[in-house]
Amino acid sequence: MMPDVTGGNALRAQEQMAGTEVRFEDATGKNREVVDPQAWRVCDSRPGANQQITSYPVVLLVTPTSEPCPEGASG
């Protein structure tokens, strides 16, 4: 089951999901590489919170903590 990590720190979300393959994606579509997850915030995830994880890697859609999540993404 996918935990609700929306709005949280990307590094903590990754740690919370230890043992699960996790991939970060820039939620803004700018395709920036997430080098330091500590500096990023989770806006959304695939699968969504509380949904069954059926494929891997789990994708965390993230933005730098200095930026808002894009319109349509929570967090």
pLDDT of residue 66: 96
pLDDT of residue 75: 61
- Average pLDDT along the chain: 94
Does the reported pTM lie above 0.85?
yes
pLDDT of residue 47: 97
Task: Find the radius of gyration of the CA atoms of the chain.
Answer: 11
Which residue positions in the chain have pLDDT lower than 50? none
pLDDT of residue 73: 65
Phi, psi at 13, each rounded to 5° = -65, -45
